Amino acid sequence: MHIQSGFRANRPAQEATGAPDLLSAMQPAAVTFYPEGAVIYAQGDTAGPLYFVEFGCVRICRLSADGRRQITAFHVAGEVFGFEAGAEHESYAESVDGTGIQALRSTCGNQPTGSLLLLAVRSLGRMQNHLMVLGRRNANERMAALLVDLNERQGGGAVVYLPMQRNDIADYLGITFETVSRILRCLKDQRIVRLKAVNEIEILDHEALLDMCA
Amino acid sequence: MHIQSGFRANRPAQEATGAPDLLSAMQPAAVTFYPEGAVIYAQGDTAGPLYFVEFGCVRICRLSADGRRQITAFHVAGEVFGFEAGAEHESYAESVDGTGIQALRSTCGNQPTGSLLLLAVRSLGRMQNHLMVLGRRNANERMAALLVDLNERQGGGAVVYLPMQRNDIADYLGITFETVSRILRCLKDQRIVRLKAVNEIEILDHEALLDMCA
DNA sequence: CGACCTGTTGATTCTGCTCAATCAACGTGG
DNA sequence: CCACGTTGATTGAGCAGAATCAACAGGTCG
């Protein structure tokens, strides 16, 4: 891990909607490249720095004793992750598809904690949304919610790019990867989406998708 | 709402584990009493102050368009809630059982944002735990997780007090209230708990409960 | 080419939901 | 005091949605 090599600029960090003054206040730090599947921090690691996603996608995971995995969040370009209440990371973070990440050192040092608070509270809001999805929506609605969410985060075009594979989607939505497959097939049959590629989904009926996660 | 009358000191605010320096930095504010079911803030209200629970229990809820409800958190004495990313509350907060609440005015004014950040990050951690529960655990395990959580928050005695009713438990755990009933019956038959009263549960086999949510 | 990995699809099982009845506790009004 | 309505909790029967188990297709890489 911590391999520092050839960048692959998927998308530039979107106008830093997450970290406005934060980044400008930092001295320019090195961007580390994490190839697909690389661990950014592990469960039990001592927490400390925050991480800014320059490009690519990161998954935040938690394992239960019997091996079940829940992905609590995906983070894409422009977002910050790594908040931890205690001294150790209770979750672990992995690169989904090859990501460039800037470590923001010294939460302890003097930083604009105001903007940090804003970022944390944003994560909180996203997580509340996700709680609603996991607690009160069926498989169709969960998939629709993810597609809409990714679509918005990617600028709202007609095509949604799925950086993660079926297994990750399943563990994020709290279903199985077989069900993910079936749901996509179902959405395809209803002419709501079109599968351009295995990780590229064209939205044909945006309204229908929104209705599903209303 | 905002009825300011006879306090009922269930339990004193536990050693303010949530808000160490925060409270001491505030000038003593009035404690408002919210009777059972009273709305503390509504969905769409302009956000602003944070709220410190003096005694009692608060539920944070979110409604979907078709009326399904998800309770994203319960907050008991000593905890702080009301964080919001945008200008409006995306959730609403209600008193579960008659609560005393102190409004911490002026997030905008100069407050120790450091300790606010800590509180927000703690909420984040609890929410991640809950995401795991909703995404990857069955009804038994969810109920066990709630019992263990409440038990810890209440000091770890033998008896867990349930301030909320079955409907609330269900909407928190993402199941139905009938299922809650059945699970409790199941736990009772297994001699893991004993129902002293409808809202008072004695834990007979603490180990078993812990195993269930391992 | 074969091994492997990811994704898709089918058949079957089972958990938890829906619908519905019953019960206990409580308050109200005659 | 009792009949009545209400509300929350429990329990049962049947069903549906998603999980599980299993087979197979397509792509990649050694």
Query: Is B40 a residue whose pLDDT tops 70?
Result: yes
Pairwise pLDDT comparison (B93 vs A117), residue with the higher score: B93
Task: Find the Cα–Cα–Cα–Cα dihedral A123, B155, B99, B163, rounded to 10°.
Answer: 90
CA distance readout (Å), A212 to A156, B21, B65, B120: 17, 45, 10, 31
pLDDT at B29: 76
What's the CATH code of the domain at A190? Answer: 1.10.10.10
Query: Is B12 a residue whose pLDDT tops 90?
Result: no
Q: Closest Cα partner for A180 from A210, A148, A143?
A: A143
Q: Are residues B126 and B174 in the same domain?
A: no
- Please give the structure tokens belonging to residue A114: 């105001």
Query: Is B202 a residue whose pLDDT tops 90?
Result: yes
Q: Are residues B109 and B169 in the same domain?
A: no
Query: Under an 8 Å CB criterion, which residues of B touch A?
Result: 60, 62, 64-66, 68-70, 72, 83-86, 90-91, 113-114, 116-118, 120-125, 127-128, 130-132, 134-137, 171-174, 214
- Give the separation between CA A34 and CA B96, rounded to whole angstroms: 46
Contact B113 A114 (CB under 8 A): yes
Residues B131-180: pLDDT tens digits?
Answer: 999 999 999 999 999 999 999 999 999 999 999 999 999 999 999 999 99
Query: Is B19 a residue whose pLDDT tops 80?
Result: no
Q: Give A196 CA → C2 C1' in Å.
A: 29
pLDDT, mean of residues B122-135: 97
pLDDT at A116: 86
pLDDT at B21: 55
pTM score of the predicted model: 0.89
pLDDT at B25: 55
**Final residue before a domain boundary, out of B133, B161, B181:** B133
pLDDT at A27: 56
**Final residue before a domain boundary, out of A74, A109, A133:** A133
What's the CATH code of the domain at B76? Answer: 2.60.120.10
Q: How many domains does chain B have?
A: 2
Q: Are residues A65 and A170 in the same domain?
A: no
Question: What single-letter DSSP state applies at residue A166?
Answer: H
Q: Which nucleotides of D are covered by protein (CB under 7 A)?
A: 8-12, 17-22
Helices (H), chain B: 20-25, 113-136, 139-153, 166-173, 177-189, 206-212
Q: Are residues A10 and A85 in the same domain?
A: yes
pLDDT at B123: 95
In the block, tokens 């584990």 appear at B17
pLDDT at A46: 95
pLDDT at A2: 34
Q: Are residues A83 and A149 in the same domain?
A: no
Residues of the domain holding A174: 138-213
**CB-based contacts with strand C under 7 Å?**
A 165-167, 177-178, 180-182, 184-185, 195, 198-199; B 138-140, 174-176, 178-179
In chain A, residues with a C-beta closer than 8 Å to the C-beta of B131 are: 62, 70, 72, 127, 130-131, 134
Q: Are residues A121 and A145 in the same domain?
A: no
pLDDT at B3: 33
In the block, tokens 């038994």 appear at B140
- Give chain A's residues under pLDDT 70: 1-28, 106-112
pLDDT at A23: 56
Q: Are residues A102 and A202 in the same domain?
A: no
Q: Are residues B112 and B51 in the same domain?
A: yes
Instruction: Give, rounded to a whole angstrom, the gap between the first and last alpha carbons of chain B.
Output: 41
- Give the separation between CA A66 and CA A59, rounded to whole angstroms: 20
Q: Are residues A117 and A34 in the same domain?
A: yes
- Please give the structure tokens belonging to residue B197: 């009263």
CA distance readout (Å), A189 to A204, B142, B192: 12, 35, 48
**Final residue before a domain boundary, out of B133, B163, B195:** B133
- Give the separation between CA B89 and CA B91, rounded to whole angstroms: 5
Tell me the sheet residues that pair with A203: A193
Which region among A24-33, B7-16, B31-40, B78-87 has the lowest average model confidence (pLDDT)?
B7-16
Q: Are residues A146 and A206 in the same domain?
A: yes
pLDDT at B7: 34
Q: Are residues A16 and A83 in the same domain?
A: yes
Task: Tell me whether residue B174 is exposed, middle or buried, using C-beta atoms within 10 angstroms of its C-beta: 0 to 12, 13 to 18, 19 or more.
Answer: buried
Which region among A107-116, B38-47, B68-77 has the lowest average model confidence (pLDDT)?
A107-116
Question: Residue B63 phi/psi, 5° resolution?
Answer: -110, 140
Contact B122 A85 (CB under 8 A): yes
